[in-house]
């Protein structure tokens, strides 16, 4: 669903504005770009400008995962919070473009076939393979 990140970030910006917050954090990643332009760095930069112009604020959009791949993202979770954080990401986050939440795969919930699930699965497999090295 192209543009969903733009919609989510716009809603988040309105909530942040009402609460006096000035930073939004998104998990977009251009390195594993799955064909959706709203995952690109340029799009997030343009969105930051548009939100600030439209809301007359100085909101900052942070995308700390933008330049690392999915395997590196899994490793970052391990480094920051150990197995507990990896398990939280696996079972309490969601990236499936089809909204599938059924049975859990080793990498978490999802349909297993959409671009987001395929990227997440490959990244998790590389992360697991690299743990032993």
Same domain, 74 and 39: no
> Where residue 19 falls among pLDDT bands split at 50, 70, 90?
very high
Query: How many structural domains does the chain have?
Result: 2
Q: Looking at the chain, which runs of residues are DSSP E strands?
A: 23-25, 60-62, 104-105, 108-109
Does the pLDDT of residue 35 top 80, yes or no?
A: no
Answer yes or no: do 54 and 76 share one domain: no
* Whether residues 121 and 74 fall in one domain: yes
Domain stops at, among 44, 62, 80: 62
Per-residue pLDDT band at 50 (split at 50, 70, 90): very high
Asked whether residue 83 falls in the same domain as residue 125, the answer is yes
The percentage of residues in the chain with a pLDDT greater than 90, rounded to a whole number, is 69
pLDDT level of residue 28 (50, 70, 90 thresholds): confident
74 and 121 co-located in one domain: yes
Range of the domain at 77: 70-131
Note whether 49 and 85 are same-domain residues.
no
For 12, 22, 114, 125, the CA distances from 15, given in Å and listed in that order, are 5, 10, 30, 36
pLDDT over threshold 60, residue 39? yes
Calpha distance 17→62 (Å, rounded) = 16
């Amino acid at each position: 669903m192209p543009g969903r990140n733009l919609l989510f970030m716009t809603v988040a910006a309105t909530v942040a504005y009402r609460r006096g917050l000035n930073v939004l954090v998104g998990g977009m990643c251009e390195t594993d770009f799955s064909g959706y332009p709203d995952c690109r760095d340029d799009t997030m930069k343009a969105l930051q400008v548009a939100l600030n112009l439209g809301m007359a604020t100085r909101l900052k959009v942070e995308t700390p995962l933008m330049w690392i791949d999915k395997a590196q993202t899994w490793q970052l979770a391990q480094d920051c919070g150990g197995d507990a954080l990896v398990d939280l990401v696996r079972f309490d986050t969601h990236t499936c473009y089809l909204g599938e939440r059924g049975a859990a795969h080793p990498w978490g919930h999802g349909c297993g076939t959409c671009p987001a699930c395929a990227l997440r699965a490959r990244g998790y497999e590389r992360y697991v393979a690299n743990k032993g090295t």
